[in-house]
Amino acid sequence: MRISDLSRQAGVSIATIKFYLREGLLPPGTATGRNQAVYGENHLRRLELIRAFTQIGQLELTTVRQLLGAIEDSRQPIVQLYELVDQACSTPEPGKGASAEHLRGAKSDVDTFLDDLGWRVGTVTPARERLTAVVAALRRLGCECGVEFFADYAAAAETQAVKELDLLSADGAEADRAAAVVRSVLLDAAMAALRRLAQEHHVATRFGLVPDGAARRSA
């Protein structure tokens, strides 16, 4: 298909496609003449991946480039793919500025919590650091909610991790690898959305508000 068709089908502007081509995020099309090229299904799929990562996952292009590279490189074992996602979705220095004392206390609580769950996880992964930073910040801000607050989520996360892995085939095909990364990144947004929706429902219930109506419209 021509670039204009690609643009229409992917819902991405021609200017953006040209930018991705220049940046190497999208492989070049097949040249059909001077300044003309045709693009295939792989370009369409790649554009949809990029859009999902940037638009829903809110990832930066340098991170997207890394993820795409790792998806394509089938020598990278799937465990490394998940590690990369963890890094890609992490925030730099989540605990920066927190006092050593707060961080130590939070770290010890997180360690105990994860040990009790029986999870075998690295001692220095970005995810563990982020969880520690959240616990430390909540404590520092006087928002009492201990790690046990997370138990239900941990159980749900575990159930879903297993379900997600069940969806992968053993041969680690590229489509599978892409799907693993896509789910891992996008489901964060889904989970956050579910939290808000549950909150909305229960706030409305508790404060006796009319559903989907008065409170919102009078805002």
Q: Which of residues 13-42 bind a copy of itself (CB under 8 A)?
A: none
DSSP assignments along 20-73, one per residue? HHHHTSS---EEEETTEEE--HHHHHHHHHHHIIIIIS---HHHHHHHHHHHH-
Helices (H) and strands (E) in the chain, counts: 10, 2
Site string for a copy of itself, 86-115 (x = CB under 8 A): x--x-x-xx-xxxx--------------x-
Q: Which of residues 154-193 bind a copy of itself (CB under 8 A)?
A: 154-165, 167, 175, 178-179, 182-184, 186-193
Contact with a copy of itself (CB under 8 A) among 28, 73, 153, 174: 153
- Residue 131 Cβ vs a copy of itself, minimum distance, rounded to whole Å: 4
Q: Which is nearer to a copy of itself, 37 or 154 (CB)?
A: 154
- Residue 130 Cβ vs a copy of itself, minimum distance, rounded to whole Å: 4
Phi and psi angles of residue 33, each rounded to the nearest 5 degrees, phi first: 165, -175
Q: Does 50 bind a copy of itself (CB under 8 A)?
A: no
Task: Please give the C-alpha separations between residue 105 and each of 66, 116, 154, 176, in angstroms, as whole numbers.
Answer: 34, 17, 20, 40
Q: Which is nearer to a copy of itself, 31 or 167 (CB)?
A: 167
